[in-house]
Amino acid sequence: MQPSIANTMIPASPDGSADVPSDILIVEDDPIIAIDFEDRLLGFGAKSVRTVGSVAQALDAIAVHAPDFALLDVELGREKSFAVAERLAAAQIPFVFVTGYGAETRIPAEFKARPRLQKPCSSDALEAALRSRGA
C-alpha cells in the first residue's frame, strides 16, 4: 500500500519557508495530465497552481500575475510553447519543459540547457525540478 500524499510531503525549511515555489503556472493542453501535475504540485506544498492550455492563455496569465515557476508542455496542439519560454526567461522566472516526445523534440538553441521532464514523469523527478527551480 502506497503512502498518501499527506504522508509523503516534505516539511518546510527550518526557518519556516517552504522549498517550493508558491505560485506555479502549468502550460499543458491535456486536461488529465494538467490535473495530475496540479495535484502533485499542491501535494509538494505549492500554495497556488494555475493551468492554461495554449500560448495565448499562458501569455495572458503571466501578464496578469507572473508565477514563481512554470511547467511548459513543449507541444500544445498545433503550437509550441517557446514564446512562453521567451517571456518567462525575459522576466527571469524559472521554468522546466515537459514533453512526451523525448530527444526528438526540437528545442531552440537558447533553451537547450533548460531542464526537461519526460512525460510521464515520476513524482520524484517533478519534485526535484520544482525544488531546484529548474536549475
Quick: pLDDT tens for 81-134.
999 999 999 999 999 999 987 666 688 999 988 989 999 999 999 999 998 886
- The β-bridge relationship of strands 48-52 and 23-27 is parallel
Question: What's this model's pTM, rounded to 2 decimal places?
Answer: 0.83
Longest Cα–Cα distance of the chain, Å, equals 45
Tell me what pLDDT residue 19 has. 81
Residue 9 CB neighbour total at 10 angstroms: 15
In the CATH hierarchy, which top-level class contains the domain 21-131? alpha beta
